[in-house]
Chain A
């Protein structure tokens, strides 16, 4: 009470004080600011930053000779990394490959959706609102229930496979589930809203007069799109691809439900089973750490290449 009653002295910058318009931010210094952010940051420190170090430490543990299952001793066993990389590099590469294909597919599907709602239907508020709700509708039903639904729809006895077989689009013994194709479809489906929403948010702010000016200058709709619309919506595309690629590469629900155990295993499944079935904590931790580093490197390279600051 006392602290809050004695306010931080406002000390806006010169620009803030003199700028006309009044929307300029007055950023203050002072104790109140620290009091506001401290509890949350202590929480994040304890349950996000520290655990990452815990993960790192765990990844270097060794199993002492004769120890019980689940018992490990602190050590600096960098060999763990070599061991898990040697065994699981195919799963790691496959995870990134699946995530990449799924991201590309989600972009191909999500961009037209976002464009339809944000640009084509501009001004038709009600329809826009309804479609926007439909884009986020999948969030309202359990992610696993929906994935399971795909599994049943695409199952051999489901409605799709017999039709495709009858039309000879699928060989008589061809299947849709338990294939890499099904896993990638599942990933694409599950992260599609994450792709569509940032692109929508970006296109929604796009000045349609620019498109008109573009079509005036280039005449062809596709050229206008390629030279005007697409470059302007790049920040949304980059945010969308990151929001799709990152969770997709670590996902294992799709692989577990829609894949098989031979050639669709993703790195998440391996980490899960290392932890809980094999009870190899150091190995699982090392794999998690590798995954995190790999994503960090890929994302940094990607953002550097296509540079944008509008990520958050």
Chain B
């Protein structure tokens, strides 16, 4: 019985490996634990060969989703299919899926080579050692094959874990915060390398992370998860430029969200009244066209002007006073207090202009095409760093 199950994956892998992985789809998958719902009616289709990122704060259900795909957890309800085959209910060792674990979970009592060959050997693949050696070459660790994992650096262990998963040519490769344990510099380097390897082997990668920068750098498609549900899914640029919820707006980068009410419909745009200020938002960039609304604008999209240089009052203009400044090198970040609106963040590139000082009166302006409108019934701080962040 065990043998039968074990021979399934290689066939699967051989069939799918050449075509670059297989579609993974989750159909209304729910995972309930005794006292809370980790994943709530999740629908997700990940096309073959893509680099997909599940992004969200800790506790959002992304790791549980990954574990259900791996077979380490079983969904309470719903269906998971790979390449059209229903794998719901099968055990982890029966699935054509491999995982790069968060802390690598390398077997400390085996050599690096034995670690990489482990999956092949369990499936009784011929020439397991040679394939394992080739996989180690792929991650440029061929010379460390005889070492124990404990003798390797964090970055090297990470690559072994990757080789150990990739060597099996799984239909789907899962990465659970694979770079979380590395320091910043190594992390950036590994991001590039991971992306390169994914292109080389052409497998479907599903990457779980709480690091929005990491998700945006590497993935073709990012799904932002919150409270067991996908808030928004799309290409990284689309998500960033046009978030659809306050959570996404705050979790991906920073956003100034200004609460107001739609006061006027101008055909292709709505005008929002916010504390007496009139702000225009294009209709195709607004989630709602009437009633309460949150007007969003990214700090780097704001231009800070001296009152004397301000254009005609019809444009999106806010008068305020600088509260605080912090110099970060490439840019200066300002906090500007705008009466009736609140405190807004502004990033200014250092072009060598004269910096504003706390207490200075300034005017904030922006291009209408950069603003976005969100439903006004949301908490404008949802997903903001420090509140829900990792």
Contacts and interface: CB of A to CB of B under 8 A. Distances in A.
A and B touch in the complex (CB under 8 A): yes
Given A21-B103, A22-B105, A13 B1 contact: no
B78 to A, nearest CB: 16
Nearest to B35: A14
A17 interface: yes
Given A2-B1, A5-B1, A17 B67 contact: yes
A71 B103 CA distance: 67
A22 B2 CA distance: 28
B58 A20 contact: yes
A20 B102 contact: yes
A11 B59 CA distance: 16
Contact of B91 (A2, A7, A17): A7
Given A5-B2, A10-B73, A18 B34 contact: no
B367 to A, nearest CB: 40
Interface residues of B, number: 24
A95 B370 CA distance: 86
Nearest to B177: A20
A14 B105 CA distance: 20
B178 to A, nearest CB: 12
Nearest to B176: A22
Nearest to A26: B72
Q: Describe B's contact surface by its main secondary structure.
A: loop
B156 interface: no
B2 A20 contact: no
Contacts, number: 42
Interface in B371-386: none
Contacts of B105: 22
A17 to B, nearest CB: 5
Contact of A22 (B36, B58, B101): B101
Interface in B100-157: 101-103, 105
B103 A13 contact: no
A305 interface: no
A124 interface: no
A9 interface: yes
Interface in A1-58: 2, 5, 7, 9-14, 17-18, 20-22
Given A7-B91, A9-B74, A18 B1 contact: no
Interface string B48-76: 00000000001101011001000011100
Nearest to B74: A9
A18 B58 contact: yes
A14 B33 contact: yes
A11 B73 contact: yes
Given A2-B1, A5-B2, A7-B91, A14 B102 contact: no
Given A10-B74, A11-B33, 10 more contacts: A7-B91, A10-B72, A10-B73, A13-B34, A17-B33, A18-B64, A20-B180, A21-B102, A21-B103, A22-B101
23 contacts: A2-B1, A5-B1, A7-B91, A10-B72, A11-B73, A11-B74, A13-B33, A13-B34, A14-B33, A14-B35, A14-B36, A17-B33, A17-B63, A17-B64, A17-B73, A18-B38, A18-B59, A18-B61, A20-B102, A20-B177, A21-B102, A22-B103, A22-B105
Q: Which 7 A-B pairs have the closest CB atoms?
A: A14-B33, A22-B103, A17-B64, A22-B102, A18-B59, A5-B2, A14-B36
